[in-house]
Chain A
Amino acid sequence: MNLIQQRLSVPVIKVPQGRLGMWILIAGELVIFGGLIACYLLSRLRYPEWAEQAAHTSTFFGALNTVVLLTSSFTIVKAHEAALKKELTKVTIYMSATIIGGLAFLVNKSIEYTNEIHHGFTFSSPQLQESGNYVGSLFWSFYYLMTGLHATHVVIGMIIMTVILIQARKGKNLHRVELAGIYWHMVDLIWIFLFPLLYIAK
């Protein structure tokens, strides 16, 4: 028996490997964000004065980004559907749309960050600290940490999807489109939590 036959005779594969691995990865990721959100919530309950800092975040940009992310999640689902039917052009179109969605999210985010930095709300906010508003500066530390970590995941997702797109365009590894989709939904889900916590609750 040669090695290839031997591999084929590895008996039981119950769930597609990648999908199972991705779900376990997501479970691990959610605990990281869960820990961070728990820390934020505890501080938020302790400092009602954070409401005035939260008022400086732009609900408009936050809502726009929510729409952008949700739409990109929709397109990746369409891409997955097309991948199941092996319609390569559709896969290419929908995956590109998702990547562009991610890009739009980041552009929005950077406009937002620029505005906030211009108003003196930076990561450790020296302006607020000099005026004695230390608690306020802590809000911005959390804000940048949480959105920044989320944005990092958006960037990672875009890189993954670009790699998968290059393969899927030629019909290779089409099952990976689904994995990108699962990951992207997680990114979306985390944003659904961050948006009300940081933008709406004022």
Chain B
Amino acid sequence: MSDTLHKKSFFRKYLFSTDHKVIGMQYTITGLFMAAVGGFLAYVFRYNLAYPGDHIPLFGELGAQQYNSFVTCHGMIMVFWVAMPILLAGFGNFLIPTMIGTDDMAFPILNMMSFWIFLLSTIVLLASFFVPGGAFGGGWTMYPPLSAGGYTNPNPDFFKAFFSGASLMILAVALEFVAMLMGGINFLVTTINKRTKGMTPFRIPLVVWFINIATIIFMFSVGPLVAGAVMLLFDITVGTGFYDPARGGDPVLFQHLFWFFGHPEVYVLLLPAVGAIGEILSVFSRKPLFAYKTIIYLALLSAILSVVVWAHHQFVAGIDPRMATFFSVGTIIISIPFAGIFLSYMATLWGGSIRFTVPMMWALGFIGTFLVGGLTGLFLGSNAFDIYAHDTYFVVAHFHYTLFPVVFFGFFAAFYFWFPKFVGKNLNPALGKIHFWCTTVFFNGTFFLLFFNGLGGQHRRINDFSLFSNVVKEPYITFEKIATISAICLILSQFIFLYNFVTSAVRGKKAVKNPWDANTIEWVADSPPPHGNFNPYPEVFRGPYDYSLPGEESDFIPQNVPHTNENIPVLKVKLSVS
């Protein structure tokens, strides 16, 4: 960084930095580290599922309780310590200030504190593996009474109960929420307040819109779960009975509080990734994003709908059947805005001059794989089918088909797209393509066959199927083994990414300012952007997607280029059918 005016010690610059790019990097690296931890856990229990009781290379033997802990922590880690820091905090910190044209977040110190609280939460979670009894193993949803120790002891010893896997996990989640709330305040205030001159609401790039919508959903759905988590923590440590049915409490209450946040959380993760994919599709099909405003309205609609569908996770928890119908219908309706968004993306591709770069491949791969997840979601959203498929591998395959594309395809698309900007070096595209094909093939190999296992009746929370003769038969045993081998290959193929990342960051070729001929104003800054990002601050004159405008010489016109010919309508280019 050419930061001569602002000399700081190593610690202030890289560790306790208030610069949004360093904080974004810290979030992303922590997220990737936790992805490695979560991936290792997945490897261990997948191995155990295919070869129950065998000695697992690099680990040893996996006991039943340990299996439960590993599955639980895998879920927890991947959602709250990988997806959240990478997609919301990482994307938000990197993209919001640079794409709206400002120097830093609105509250840089709050931003720094947000990361350090997040890191503390990571440490608390990892520490929970080493307390007596091991990490919590009652499923990542932490349902009581299992998470509250079964209410066998109404007067628990506080310290013993506090240093248990369940309570440390709740504490870690609570800390993580605090960190993300602090980040969320920053994102919203920065976007509302610190936009550069001319950056009107409908000139903000889609991904910034989507990160902010995701932040709003997060901030306004997490509250009840914070309250619910505090209640659960008291149930564990001081012996209250908020969720104990024998003492007037209600365990289903926790499920409502959890899913009131837990379902919108899916959209919190989905929207930043979908936004980034939209940017990439528009750049590499050299066309304006189709129906930019409509996509934003659809995302807002889905945000509103996302908070009224939560009970579709509880169809077998004994909720009123009339309520189940309401939630089924709501769940299926929410596919309409998303169908709209993805059809707009298809329309963006249509007739474009598509460039098959690495980020574009990830973006297209995202759409293909996410489609499978989205369509199986329609099955599960229906009450009648869900009762049959609940807690089977069908559900497992479904949410991996939604979350894996969102978290990893979305992240990798964005990573390959913005790496030249924020690190200032070029990645190796050949390795990127190998990484893409390996990941796509092995991802589908891991999860596609599990749909059939699920329909065959395999339950998701069992460590050794040899006791269940109805599922220990062909083809399910073979499918299980194919899934495990694919999962191992999937994890191994991430080393290609790691190699590419490290070698390119260290000795890659220096990147130019705008390698992809993109329009949004982060590409106006130097690569990597110095402290303060822009010098001078760009003024914005047009929308973010002025590609291939008729009558213009260049096929892209960055947002900071003034209009020369006032007659050309901006963003009103019709879908050209060639």
Contact = CB atoms under 8 A, between A and B. Distances in A.
A123 interface: yes
B103 A21 contact: no
Interface in A1-19: 1-3, 6-7, 9-15, 17
Given A124-B240, A134-B246, A141-B241, A20 B193 contact: yes
A67 interface: no
Contact of B5 (A3, A15, A30, A42): A3
A43 B242 CA distance: 10
Interface in B299-340: none
Interface stretch (A31-39, A93-101, A160-168, A169-177): A31-39
Given A47-B248, A138-B247, A141-B241, A17 B189 contact: yes
B234 A21 contact: no
Nearest to B187: A24
Contacts of B181: 25, 28
Nearest to B181: A28
B240 A123 contact: yes
Contacts of B238: 123-124
A7 B102 CA distance: 9
Interface string B526-555: 000001100111010000000000000000
A183 B181 CA distance: 16
A196 interface: no
A178 to B, nearest CB: 16
A134 B154 CA distance: 11
Given A24-B185, A36-B227, A134 B247 contact: yes
Contacts of A10: 102-103, 194, 537
B106 A35 contact: no
A111 B350 CA distance: 72
A141 B240 contact: yes
Contacts of B5: 2-3
Nearest to A140: B240
A141 B196 CA distance: 50
A124 B239 contact: yes
A138 B242 contact: yes
Given A31-B222, A31-B224, A34-B224, A12 B196 contact: yes
A56 to B, nearest CB: 17
A145 B234 contact: yes
Contacts of A21: 106-107, 110, 185-186, 189
B242 A35 contact: no
A75 interface: no
Interface string A69-102: 0000000000000000000000000000000000
A35 B185 CA distance: 20
B503 interface: no
Interface in B387-414: none
Contacts of B223: 28-35
A32 B249 CA distance: 20
B21 to A, nearest CB: 16
27 contacts: A6-B103, A9-B536, A10-B537, A12-B194, A12-B196, A12-B197, A12-B199, A13-B193, A14-B193, A17-B193, A21-B106, A21-B185, A21-B186, A24-B185, A28-B184, A28-B219, A30-B223, A34-B223, A39-B228, A124-B154, A124-B155, A126-B155, A129-B247, A137-B247, A138-B248, A141-B234, A149-B230
Nearest 4 A-B pairs (CB), nearest first? A35-B224, A31-B223, A135-B248, A134-B247
